[in-house]
Amino acid sequence: MKTVQESRIPLTGPALPAGRGDLSHGVVRALRSDPGDEIRLPSRGAADEADPYGEDLHLALYLCYELHYRGFHDVDSAWEWNPGLLGLRAGLERRFLDALRADTGRGTGLEEAFAGILVEPVEAGGLSGHLRDEGELWQLREYAAQRSLYHLKEADPHAWVIPRLRGRAKAAMVAVEFDEFGAGQAARMHSRLFADLMRDLDLDTTYGRYVDVATAEMLAIVNLMSVFGLHRALRGALVGHFAAVEVTSSPASRRLAEAMRRTGAGEAAVHFYAEHVEADAVHEQVVRRDVVGGLLEEEPWLEADVAFGIHATDLLDARLAEKTLTAWRDGRTSLRGPL
C-alpha cells in the first residue's frame, strides 16, 4: 500500500530535460530531490543577470510552470507550491515581463495593437509563407516538433482566465474554448488533432518529448501563455494573447495546410490546419467582439493590458520566425539538436 508521500510522486508525465545553465540546472537538481530536503535553489535575484529571452531563464521558467500542468516523471507533486521555488519563479517572471514591456513600447491603444496584426506582411506570411512556398518535409517536421510544446496544451492556460471573467466575456470565452476542447468529443480536441498531425510526420506524440531540442524562442512563446494564465493581475494580457492567436490563426493555417498538402505530409497533417482556417475565422470575431469587448465593458482600465498581450505575442512570434528562417536559409537545423 502506498504511503501519502509516495502517492505524491507521479510515475507518469515527461522526463525532466537537461539543464542549459545555472538557473535551469539548479531547478532540475532541486526537482530530482525531496522538497523537504535542504536543497539550495538559485537565489531569487539570480534571474536579474540572465538574458530575459535566453535558453537558461526560459527552461527554468518552463520547468516551474510544468508543475502546474502534468508535472514530471518521478518528481514529487509537492514541488508545485514549494515556497522557495515560487520565489525563484517570481524573479524569472519579473525579468521576462520587464523585458517584454520595454520591448513592446508601441503605445497602449487597442486599435493600434490590432492594426499591427491584422495587416498581412508584404513578404506574405513569414514562417508559414516560407513553408507554403518552399518548405521541405524535414522543415515541417522541425516546425511541428517545436510547436508541439504549444499545441499539445494550447487551450489549457487560456482556461485559467475563465473564472476571472464575467458576463459576456466569460460566456464567449467558454464558447471558444468548448471548440478548442473538441465540443465534448475527445477525438476532436485540437491537442488531439495536433498529435494526429505529428503521427503523419513520424514524430513522437509524447507530451513534452521535444523540450530538449526546442529553442529559447519557442520556450518563451509557451511561457508567455503560462505567465499570463497563472496571474489574475495579467488577465487582460491573457485575453490580448488569446485575441492575437485567433486573429492571426486563420490566414497562417491556410498557408500551413497548403504546405502540408504540397509536401504530401498526410491527411491528418492537412486536416489540423484546414480545420483552423474556418473555425478560427469565426473565433476571431467572437473574441474581438465579445471576449475583448465584454472584458473592457466591465473593466475598461484593462485596455493597456490587452494591448500588451497582443504586442508581446507578436514580438515573440517574430523572434521565433527570424531564428528559424535564418537557420533554414543557411541549410541548418532550426533545433538545438537532431530529432
Cβ-Cβ contacts under 8 Å for 170 (sequence gap 6 or more): 162, 294
Amino acid at the residue 180: E
The distance from CA 293 to its chain's CA centroid, rounded to whole angstroms, is 24
How many C-beta atoms surround the C-beta of residue 140 within 10 A?
21
> Are 43 and 26 in contact, with CB atoms under 8 Å apart?
no
DSSP per-residue codes, 213-276: G--HHHHHHHHHHHHHHH-GGGHHHHHHHHHHHHHHHHHHHHHHHHHHHHHT--HHHHHHHHHH
Read off the pLDDT of residues 66-114 as tens digits, 9 standing for 90 and up: 999 999 999 999 999 999 999 999 999 999 999 999 999 866 688 888 8
Q: What is the mean pLDDT of residues 242-249?
A: 90
Assigned fold of 108-329? Heme Oxygenase; Chain A (1.20.910)
The distance from CA 236 to its chain's CA centroid, rounded to whole angstroms, is 17
Ranges of each domain in the chain: 4-101, 108-329
Distance CA 183, CA 279 (A): 12
Burial of residue 185 (CB within 10 Å: 0-12, 13-18, 19+) is exposed
Written as nine digits, the cell of 227 is: 505567465
* pLDDT for 6 beyond 70: no
pLDDT of residue 262: 96
Question: Does residue 122 sit in helix, strand or coil?
Answer: coil
256 falls in which pLDDT band (50, 70, 90)?
Answer: very high
Read off the pLDDT of residues 114-144 as tens digits, 9 standing for 90 and up: 877 766 554 456 899 999 999 999 999 999 9
Taking Cα atoms as reference points, which of 41, 38, 33 lies closest to residue 9? 33
* pLDDT for 191 beyond 80: yes
Written as nine digits, the cell of 86 is: 515560487
pLDDT of residue 276: 85
pLDDT of residue 116: 74
- Per the model's pLDDT, the better-predicted residue between 173 and 279 turns out to be 173
4 falls in which pLDDT band (50, 70, 90)?
Answer: very low
Amino acid at the residue 162: I
Angle 235-263/303-329 helices, nearest 10 degrees?
30
277 falls in which pLDDT band (50, 70, 90)?
Answer: confident
- Per the model's pLDDT, the better-predicted residue between 236 and 105 turns out to be 236
Give the ranges where the chain is alpha helix by DSSP (H): 4-7, 22-31, 55-66, 83-103, 110-118, 126-134, 137-151, 155-159, 167-180, 190-200, 216-230, 235-263, 267-286, 293-298, 303-329
